[in-house]
Structure 1
Amino acid sequence: MKKKIIIIGGGITGCMAALYIDKKKFDVSIYESKNNLGGVLSDFLHNEDSFLNGVQYLDVNTKWYSEIKKFFKGKLNEFSHNYGSITESENSMLFTNKFAVPAFTNVDLNLLNNTIKKNLNSRISLYPKKIANFLNLYLKKFNISSKKISWDQACLLHIGRVTILDELKKLKKLKMQNKVIDDIYAIEKKNFLNDQTFNAALPNKGYNNFFDDLCKILKKKKIKIFLKSKIKPLWDNGKLFLKKDDKQIFSADHIIWTGNPTNLIKEILNKKIDSFPLKIVQYSANIEKKVENFYAQIFSTNSNFLRFFSYKLNNKSKISVESIYDRNEINIKEKINTLLKNINFNYQLTDEKIFKNLSVRFNIVTKRDEKIFNELKRKALNTNLICGPWNIYSRNDKIIYFKNIIDKL
């Protein structure tokens, strides 16, 4: 009799897990709460128009991409990815098209030996005062305490590394001598990669269309997909059961939980994770200009903007700006035009209509959350529950994590 495997969560991680399980000829099902697969990889729609819902590129250089690419011949746009960053305070603005991290000049470098990875605050304290002060001011707009956030969450906030543009040669030397310097400072990729390009891809018709196609592919492989499924976890004597739509109760040989673990943790541990909510608004517009795929991280202490990206979708040139939501935000077109000027985009919005899309994100992990995740994993040992790597940011690392587990089933 075939092993029965259930996957909770229909994002790209859950879909790839299903494909790996299918290779082992197991019975596999995906349960997704939304009315389509994709998770965070999605588009937002306005009438007949659509825009990417955030900067979500597919990494061409990963093994899982090469495995899924064969199903989408002619439907993916691969490109050499360009990026940059703005580092802006009350008295200065610095743009670079060589880094996507906070960038500084005129900073005295200190040689550091402290290796205590206590929290994000201890990581920031390793920097010279000018950089540390800026990062602490920058984090204030997220309304989170750096003392509560994990050391590794710097990557999720895009401050895993910073750079000093006029000290790159010195940084290169220090990075080879000191592990801490290597961990928290960035230098140009040409110094450590033979291939300096970051190859990425986007679906030509957007992620909604991409996952509609992927759903059909999975079904052809006899992978069962249940959309709009309200799943409640039930823990009974060391075994996980699932209750669907408050009616049907069932289980499986293995249940892989790739989605939000909030209800799972509440059921098994009777605990609640911190889950800092971050309300994001995205401003998007169609523009009359041929664009390349480009994004810029925005590190500003006097603006709500977080990221800018330009791209093509359905043969239309588009720009989008992500921002922390502020109900009192005004003069948005003027602010976007200032941003376009600062990144040398050579375009100004005039009569273009700006479309807004709101979303809430819960992916900032605290030190307390990490302890809860580890407690749940210990509880799940030798049971039918396979926990997700909820403290891992990289999509590629998440997929590899599940593949390694599936290979041993």
Structure 2
Amino acid sequence: MSPSKSTNYLIVGGGITGCVSALLLAEQGISVTLCESSSHLGGILRDHVSSGERFFTSCQYLSVNEPWFQLLPSTIRRELAEFEHSYGSVTDFEQHCMTTRSMAMPVFATEKVRLEEFSANLDNATLSSRLSFYPEFVEKNLRSWVRRYGVEPESVSGENAAALQISRVHLANHDAAVTVLKQQPDYDASLALPFKYRHPDQSIQAALPTEGFDAFFELLENYMISRGIQVMKNKPIKLRKNGMKIQFWSRSERMDYFDNLIWACNPNPLLRGLEFPALDNVHGKSETHFYDLDLSEGSVDTCYYQIFSDQTDINRLFTYSVAGKPKLTVECFAGNRDKDQISTEVHILLRKLGHEHTINWQSSTKEKRYIFYSESDKAILSQLAAAQTINNCRILDAGWLDFGRNAKINRIMDQIDQGNETHDALSGDIRMSAAS
């Protein structure tokens, strides 16, 4: 169905989720305004720049096989390098080390973990209760590892395990037995098998911009404008309730009314404007180190490695190239190790993974990671997502509880695909109070 002329959308947030949502709507001939509070698009994907050199701030692949990726025009896709998704992990607790190039999750040796030691039921209420499903050796070490983010496992939802890559663990040399166990839902949700074991003839394709994400978003912005999308930067948005109406404001300027809203960024301002309770804002503390790689020959593989260890503050390594230059991004817990200690540990980990690169430290940053939510946060955001229409404005669920951009974008796409017939029906029949 073609959208009615009155249908318009406001998208708040100029990261990849907001930009892709805008493109999808524009392809349907729908009026779209995208507002970004900063002076540039990109959100968390923006490059880290040090002494004129660009680095990716973390491992942020674009998924080639996702439907939203096909929205990108050939002029932009030409600026992306496509490759087979490659990853691995190092699990090193209590002097028992397992290294793999086929799993990005914790891997444990059979002499330390037995299948009969798993609990009877998986309790996902908190991250602590979820971890208690695992045998004692796994539970206590992963629990201690999570605490190094500065977060207590008892204070956050069990669903946060996905963001930490610990929602499942792999038991070495038990693939056949695990395959049978995974027919049961609790084991399927907690035990991992290598992708190639499950799908020997398949691969996962990914992409990264060859010149960095900043250049990618400049191209994307120009393309969005050419498609009729109104892009407004330096435009923070606030919502205010005025009786039974919602008003859209940017600083002291009142904006036009929009009958559809996609809030594709931090939901706290949206919750405040709609008079919902505040979130707990649980966050982890981390730091990131950026290196140039000196290769004696050949090129660097684009690959990331999860690190689960009581021997180092490092929790992820990411090797890649930007503008033809090999780079390394190292994510760490915020600890007391200086850059020389971190660099020594990077050397050790790279050797374990089969890399003999020379690394040259360039810079580092410290940040808060808002990758956690409490059960209270989950209840509030679930209530917001279920509201659908508030004071005649349809608010789409922007995947605030989903992990990963693909899940967020696909959730938004599903709601857009419902069409304006759904919106028209809801506008006439549903009035849900934000306080109810």
Report TM bin, short chain: over 0.9
Deviation readout 1:75-107 (Å, 9 max, x if unpaired): 110111221101122423221111110110021
Query: SS of 1:255's equivalent?
Result: strand
Residue 265 of structure 1 corresponds to which residue in structure 2? 271
Summarize the Cα distance change of 1:159–1:184 in structure 2 as closer, same or farther, 3 Å threshold: same
Residue 192 of structure 1 corresponds to which residue in structure 2? 198
Residue 93 of structure 2 corresponds to which residue in structure 1? 89
State the alpha-carbon separation in 2 of the partners of residues 328 and 188 from structure 1.
Answer: 33
Query: SS of 1:250's equivalent?
Result: coil
State the alpha-carbon separation in 2 of the partners of residues 334 and 194 from structure 1.
Answer: 36
- Could you tell me which of 357, 361, 372 is aligned with 2:369? 361
State the alpha-carbon separation in 2 of the partners of residues 353 and 155 from structure 1.
Answer: 30
Query: SS of 2:189's equivalent?
Result: helix
- Could you tell me which of 301, 312, 329 is aligned with 2:321? 312
Residue 227 of structure 2 corresponds to which residue in structure 1? 221
Task: Return the letter of the residue paired with 1:45.
Answer: V
State the alpha-carbon separation in 2 of the partners of residues 262 and 240 from structure 1.
Answer: 16
State the alpha-carbon separation in 1 of the partners of residues 248 and 333 from structure 2.
Answer: 36
Deviation readout 1:109-142 (Å, 9 max, x if unpaired): 1265425432222221111111111111111102
Deviation readout 1:50-87 (Å, 9 max, x if unpaired): 00011000111111112215342421101112211011
Which deviates more from structure 2 when the two are superposed, residues 68-77 or residues 387-396?
68-77
State the alpha-carbon separation in 2 of the partners of residues 69 and 342 from structure 1.
Answer: 40
In the TM superposition, residue 2 of structure 1 has moved relative to its aligned partner by 3.9
Residue 99 of structure 1 corresponds to which residue in structure 2? 103
Residue 60 of structure 2 corresponds to which residue in structure 1? 56
Q: Structure 1 residue 335 and structure 2 residue 345: aligned?
A: yes
Deviation readout 1:181-216 (Å, 9 max, x if unpaired): 111011122333254422111011111000000000
Residue 288 of structure 1 corresponds to which residue in structure 2? 294
Deviation readout 1:272-303 (Å, 9 max, x if unpaired): 11122223322111122120111100112232
Q: Is the CA contact (8 Å cut-off) linking 2:122 and 2:130 kept in structure 1? A: no
Task: Return the letter of the residue paired with 1:80.
Answer: E
Q: Structure 1 residue 182 and structure 2 residue 188: aligned?
A: yes
Residue 430 of structure 2 corresponds to which residue in structure 1? none
Measured on the aligned residues, the alpha-carbon RMSD in Å equals 1.9
In the TM superposition, residue 238 of structure 1 has moved relative to its aligned partner by 4.3
Residue 70 of structure 2 corresponds to which residue in structure 1? 66
Q: Is the CA contact (8 Å cut-off) linking 1:2 and 1:25 kept in structure 2? A: no
Q: Is the CA contact (8 Å cut-off) linking 2:276 and 2:380 kept in structure 1? A: no
Residue 38 of structure 1 corresponds to which residue in structure 2? 42
Residue 201 of structure 1 corresponds to which residue in structure 2? 207
What count of residue pairs does the alignment treat as equivalent?
A: 406
Q: Is the CA contact (8 Å cut-off) linking 2:289 and 2:361 kept in structure 1? A: no
Summarize the Cα distance change of 1:238–1:359 in structure 2 as closer, same or farther, 3 Å threshold: farther
Residue 252 of structure 1 corresponds to which residue in structure 2? 258
Summarize the Cα distance change of 1:82–1:69 in structure 2 as closer, same or farther, 3 Å threshold: farther
Q: Is the CA contact (8 Å cut-off) linking 2:290 and 2:328 kept in structure 1? A: yes
Residue 400 of structure 1 corresponds to which residue in structure 2? 410
Give the gaps of 5 or more residues in structure 2.
421-436
Summarize the Cα distance change of 1:195–1:42 in structure 2 as closer, same or farther, 3 Å threshold: farther
Q: Structure 1 residue 18 and structure 2 residue 22: aligned?
A: yes
Residue 169 of structure 1 corresponds to which residue in structure 2? 176
Give the gaps of 5 or more residues in structure 1.
none
State the alpha-carbon separation in 1 of the partners of residues 277 and 212 from structure 2.
Answer: 38
Q: Structure 1 residue 78 and structure 2 residue 71: aligned?
A: no
Residue 380 of structure 2 corresponds to which residue in structure 1? 372
Summarize the Cα distance change of 1:184–1:69 in structure 2 as closer, same or farther, 3 Å threshold: farther
In the TM superposition, residue 237 of structure 1 has moved relative to its aligned partner by 3.4
Which deviates more from structure 2 when the two are superposed, residues 137-146 or residues 54-63?
137-146
In the TM superposition, residue 246 of structure 1 has moved relative to its aligned partner by 2.7
Summarize the Cα distance change of 1:353–1:155 in structure 2 as closer, same or farther, 3 Å threshold: closer
- Could you tell me which of 289, 292, 299 is aligned with 2:308? 299
**Structure 1 consecutive aligned stretches of length 4 or more whose deviation exceeds 4 Å:** none
In the TM superposition, residue 155 of structure 1 has moved relative to its aligned partner by 0.4
In the TM superposition, residue 386 of structure 1 has moved relative to its aligned partner by 2.6
Residue 151 of structure 1 corresponds to which residue in structure 2? 158
In the TM superposition, residue 340 of structure 1 has moved relative to its aligned partner by 1.8
Q: Is the CA contact (8 Å cut-off) linking 2:312 and 2:345 kept in structure 1? A: no
Task: Return the letter of the residue paired with 1:266.
Answer: R
TM-score, length-normalised on structure 2? Answer: 0.88
Query: SS of 1:7's equivalent?
Result: strand
State the alpha-carbon separation in 1 of the partners of residues 66 and 201 from structure 2.
Answer: 14
TM-score, length-normalised on structure 1? Answer: 0.93
Task: Return the letter of the residue paired with 2:321.
Answer: K
